[in-house]
A and B are shown apart, each in its own frame.
Chain A
Amino acid sequence: MAADFKTAQPVEYYRRFLKEDVRPDGRELGEIRHTTLNIGSITTAEGSALVKLGNTTVICGIKAELCNPTAEEPKKGFVVPNVDLPPLCSPRFRPGPPSEQAQVVSQLMADIIENSGVVALEDLCIVEGKLCWVLYCDMMCLDYDGNVVDTCVISLLAALKNVLLPEVTVNEETGSPVTDVEKKLPLNIRKCPVATTFGVFDDHYLFTDPTNEEECLATGVLTVVTTEDNKICCMHKPGGTALSESRLQDCINRALTRAEEVRKLIDETINSVER
């Protein structure tokens, strides 16, 4: 009966729950789904992390390669984030080139990396103007149940913290690089950005961490990315319900608390892996 009602009248179904300040999956409005982390499971990647946020699953693998820096910025390496939303993760995606959604999330990741300064591109330089690292951060969604942005940011940060780069020196005589696989160095992570996404329902109810269904029904979404020094490095609200100043402030405060929790989780997981 409930299932029929949900199919026929999804919005009304949702409204009934929200009236009681609870969501159909049993969460409170501000509650975030259980987050689990698995770091370093892909041994072919220089760094990797699998993150589950409720059902939503994203795996991030980082491959490091060597390349020439650009003439304009000879001291800088590259970080190239790409998000893949394959047809595997949800029936809404079809095979073929990246969907609009995938492109938007990829660009958002690139913006977050740049704005937060999680990795200083100068750290990736090996020889000025000659040789630098390029970090290909590929995030692949394995299960799309809403809120991929938050999940991608966590997986990216955890994978970056897991990166070990082999030491590379340049042979003086031949000028060609030499890799020392034995000696591996971690990456210097300058900032820890964490995203929190909010959904607005019926232009009134504000809830955190929307599922796929909730995203479809939401009249607006808002993503706030904060770093550990309590700064905002990205505030992304693409249209939708107009929000007042006080509600935005409320979102920022909640994002700051949530980010603290996630950073703790990442650090704990990394410590447990190393032990």
Chain B
Amino acid sequence: MQRYYSVGSNMAATDETSALLRSFECEQNLLSRPDGSANVRQGDTSVLAAVYGPGEVKMSEEIIDKATLKVIFKPKIGLPGCAEKLQERLLRNTCESVVLAVLHPRSGVNIVLQVIQDSGSLLSCCINAACMALVDSAVPMKCLVSAVTCAVMEEGRIVLDPDSKQEKESSAVLTFAFDSRENNVVTCSTKGCYTPEKYQECLSACGAASRNISSFFRQAVERRMSKEL
């Protein structure tokens, strides 16, 4: 069963920000073995996510009052190292804050993220893919989480959803993940140096863009459910 959705989300560009996301595509339920899967493409960046669970968990990792979440992050090339561990931790904690783990005590939910292509904004793409795969796997969730990356260019301009070239030229890259209920910041990870004022600017620009993404997620789920039912 495959579903394919595409959105070229156009946002009204404000004065200073070129607030355009690259084309955002999401495909759910494309793998047959896992309980849920999703492929999210933001421009040329593409991440494939698979969710297994809730299922059995290793004795040593078992938590008595909730499910154990595990994220495995697979880079496109090379062996995973420390940097990947940090990503895994970030992704796991992000998922943990939206998944209702208390409903599945003593079980495990495994999320595998395979990078297919990295052309910038990788972290936000990973978070979005993980969220869509979780939705597809029907693991109970509090709310959705949507992530947006932005780059602060040398001259101070903010570029949303930058590609790798823009990331390289920028002075800072910030990634935010927002919950879909109150649009508060769940996760934040940044690279480079920036002023607190720029931080606020980036935060509000990303916050606005994340609303678009979460409404897109909602539409995707709605359309799919209407077809299936």
| Contact (Cβ within 8 A) A239 B199 | no
Interface residues of B in 198-228 (CB under 8 A from A): 199-200, 203-204, 207
In the complex, A103 has a CB within 8 A of chain B: yes
Interface residues on B, range: 35 or more
In the complex, B35 has a CB within 8 A of chain A: no
Residue numbers in A under 8 Å from B187 (CB-CB): 237-239
Residue numbers in B under 8 Å from A186 (CB-CB): none
* Nearest-neighbor residue (CB-CB) of A253 within chain B: B196
- Contact flags B89-102 to A (C-beta < 8 A → 1, else 0): 11011111100000
Set A116, A238, A249, A252: member contacting B93, Cβ < 8 A? A238
Interface residues of B in 11-33 (CB under 8 A from A): none
Decide: A107 near B86, CB < 8 A? Known: A242-B97, A248-B185, A248-B203. yes
In the complex, A6 has a CB within 8 A of chain B: no
Interface residues of A in 212-244 (CB under 8 A from B): 220, 222, 227, 230-244
In the complex, B163 has a CB within 8 A of chain A: no
Q: Measured between alpha carbons, how far is A235 from B95 in the docked complex, in Å?
A: 19
| Contact (Cβ within 8 A) B82 A103 | yes
Q: Measured between alpha carbons, how far is A274 from B186 in the docked complex, in Å?
A: 45
Residue numbers in B under 8 Å from A189 (CB-CB): none
Q: Measured between alpha carbons, how far is A117 from B193 in the docked complex, in Å?
A: 9
Residue numbers in B under 8 Å from A238 (CB-CB): 89-90, 93-94, 187, 189
| Contact (Cβ within 8 A) A235 B190 | yes
| Contact (Cβ within 8 A) B188 A235 | yes
| Contact (Cβ within 8 A) A236 B82 | no
Task: Give B contacts to A, CB under 8 Å.
Answer: 82-83, 85-86, 89-90, 92-97, 174, 177-179, 182, 184-196, 199-200, 203-204, 207
Task: Give A contacts to B, CB under 8 Å.
Answer: 100, 103-104, 106-108, 110-111, 115-117, 220, 222, 227, 230-245, 248-249, 252-253, 256
Supply 8 further A-B pairs (C-beta < 8 A) apart from A239-B177, A253-B196. Answer: A220-B97, A232-B199, A234-B190, A242-B97, A245-B204, A248-B188, A249-B196, A256-B196
